[in-house]
Structure 1
């Protein structure tokens, strides 16, 4: 009889990497970063504890791959929410910021891992770099209509990113509540509505 951590046939070689990443995502959501180990990922994927070494250079390599998958899902979520609303610059920017916040709220451990990995010395893998760049490009593209002539694009991008990332992070660590000046993400979006539109 098999348990939830065992399978009757190990995955094919080409599926092993994917299986380990999915196992890591499952463990991360269930147990947080502290519960994410190579041995546990291997057990959940139904392979030997030595199997991850064929695809990852230790735990940092697996964490990079999981973070890269997170960034891909993150970008998909922002693009999907923006596409579901009006094709108008301010509506798209607000939709992307809402999707950003929702992703952080619904995937706190993954959100934390994504940014820790990409900003760490360990997070130097090409897959992670490209996935992170794609997610940032979604935000940058939505911010572009608000860049005034003579202003560097990075100024508006940084304003928008700081606002939504800071709000999401403060919310996750419990620093925003009913007695705070900004009580909801809708209040936050009201600040974005002050950005001048450059069309």
Structure 2
């Protein structure tokens, strides 16, 4: 291995450590606890080293969001691949999405609530985010109904899931009523 390859590997490892530490801190104590000073202390590197990887907290949030979008897409695909039939697939998708949001609140916030400097629904949207939407579209597109654009239907269904996830997490909806909400959502929106 050349010196250059070793340096690149070490740089990538430091970057993974920064993102993992930020994510862990955010999940334990909220995003307000994630500061460059705190991260530098936790990973035992100086702040200038941190800034050599990320220009600040906003970029770190963006990196967590991209990582989270990849994980969410994988969770949705795994859940939908395990079942047969459009109704069961869409129900599995809804549960996988809501479970991901509940298990990873800080990551979910990084993806959808916080400004990580990422472009959404634009030409320069990062591939990780496009793939997360594609994971939803794969199952939802087949139940959009005649005359309804699959992408538009996916956006509306996704917005509904996001609302359920957010309102449940903030205590405005009772978590024990998740199942009837999912059944209502799937039953009313998905043309099966």
Query: TM-score of the superposition, structure 2-length normalised?
Result: 0.83
Distance 1:29 1:108 in 2: 7
- Using the TM superposition, give the Cα deviation of residue 64 of structure 1 relative to its aligned residue in structure 2, in angstroms: 0.7
Higher helix share: 2
In the alignment, structure 1 residue 58 sits paired with structure 2 residue 56: yes
**1:12 alignment partner, SS class:** helix
State the distance in 2 between where 1:50 and 1:31 align.
24
Aligned residue-pair number: 180
**Structure 2 Cα separation of the partners of residues 113 and 128 of structure 1:** 15
Q: Which runs of 5+ in 1 are unaligned?
A: 1-10
2:164 is aligned to 167
Q: Does 1:193 align with 2:168?
A: no
Query: Which residue matches 1:105?
Result: 102
What pairs up with 1:1-199 in 2 under 5 angstroms?
12-84=10-82, 86-117=83-114, 120=115, 122-124=117-119, 129-177=126-174, 184-191=177-184, 192-194=186-188, 195-197=190-192
**Contact 1:68–1:128 (Cα < 8 Å) also in 2:** no
Q: Distance in 2 between matches of 1:39 and 1:19?
A: 15
Residues 70 and 111 in structure 1, CA contact (< 8 A), matched pair in contact too: yes
Deviation at 1:121, TM superposition (A): 7.7
Change (3 A) 1:59 1:169: same
* Matched residue, 1:7: none
Residue 16 of structure 1 and its aligned partner are, at CA, apart by 0.9
Provide the alpha-carbon RMSD of the alignment: 2.4
The 1-side partners of 2:19 and 2:191 are apart by: 42
Structure 1 SS opposite 2:146: coil
- In structure 2, stretches of 5+ residues that fail to align are 1-8
